[in-house]
Amino acid sequence: MTTLRTTIACTFLLAAVALLAACGSDDAASTPTTTAAAATTSEACAKESLALLTSGQLTIGTDKPAYPPYFMDEKPENGKGFEGALAYAIADQLGFAPGEVTWVVVPFDSSYAPGDKSFDFDLNQISITAPRQKVVDFSSPYYTAPQAVIVSSKSPLAKATSLAELKDVQLGVQVGTTSLDAATSVLAPSQDIRVFNNSNDVVAAFKQGQVDAIVVDLPTAFYLTAAVLDNAMIVGQFNAPGGDQWGALLQKDSALTTCVSKAVDSLRDSGELAKITEQWMGTEAGAPELK
């Protein structure tokens, strides 16, 4: 359309003038429509307009126990931890004070099961997938899980601060994973990566000293270093294609979905989401960024 109009403009001066006027009319006509749409969304997302489980109260779900770094001290209500802090930031965007937020326990698997929900939205490291989207709603993504490198805390590698320092190490990764793709393309090691059939084999190889380091997604790295591996640490994290996106989960066709997405988007645009992520999922959580 644009190319055709340009050609006409170059050939016929009068047509160009007419076209310019027409374009001006189109732009002028679109402004009130856009403004009206934004105003409508703003009105629908006003605190008093929200369709809540309990009037005047924002009910947020998560699993129990609530593990760090997502929640601290198993108390989501203290607002500490990545998703704990995020929950109250979203609540604030929606107009709720901390005292107007209530938490309910929602087992992970039941959160995305079909049916009515006991919460307004749920935060529990829930990946946005096509099958789940058929039965529940998700907000805009609030996190894309990066990859992480685990090494022995007794190894010289424990002091590494850059990707270059890991180039010559023997890496271990599970076959068919985004971690393998990331290790190959981003770390680009000088040695062939040792590939294992499953995560148990990767962990066993690390324990037996068959590999110097293993690459997994960051959430898995938090779990392995906290509950599975002794004398192991996350030396750092790095961004890679194919990251796992998480979103706030809501009941299918919830009237709140647009408003929660708007809140997440506002936090992202303001930089607040990045600050929360860095505080709780970065250096303070023991996972500095490798560059």
CB-CB neighbours of 54 under 10 Å = 9
Question: Are 273 and 99 within 8 A, CB to CB?
Answer: no
Separation between Cα atoms, residue 252 and residue 262, nearest integer Å: 17
What CA–CA distance (Å, rounded) separates 239 from 237?
7
- Domain residue spans of the chain: 51-144+244-285, 147-238
CATH topology of domain 147-238: D-Maltodextrin-Binding Protein; domain 2 (3.40.190)
Supply the DSSP symbol for 127.
Answer: B
CATH for 51-144+244-285, among 3.90.1210.10, 1.10.3720.10, 3.40.50.720, 3.40.190.10? 3.40.190.10
CA dist 69 and 211 (Å) reads: 27
Same fold: 51-144+244-285 with 147-238: yes
Q: Greatest CA separation found in the chain?
A: 80
In 3D space, the residue among 199, 160, 192 whose CA is nearest the CA of residue 177 turns out to be 199
Residues 6+ apart with CB under 8 A from 174: 180, 195, 196, 197, 198, 199, 201, 202, 216
Angle value at C-alpha 104, between 250 and 110, nearest 5 degrees: 55
Per-residue pLDDT of the chain (291 residues; tens, 9 = 90+): 444 333 333 333 233 333 323 333 344 444 554 454 455 667 889 999 999 999 999 999 999 988 889 999 999 999 999 999 999 999 999 999 999 999 999 999 899 999 999 999 999 999 999 999 999 999 999 999 999 999 999 999 999 999 999 999 999 999 988 899 999 999 999 999 999 999 999 999 999 999 999 999 999 999 999 999 999 999 999 998 777 899 999 999 999 999 999 999 999 999 999 999 999 998 878 899 999
- Whether the CB-CB separation of 164 and 290 falls below 8 Å is answered with no
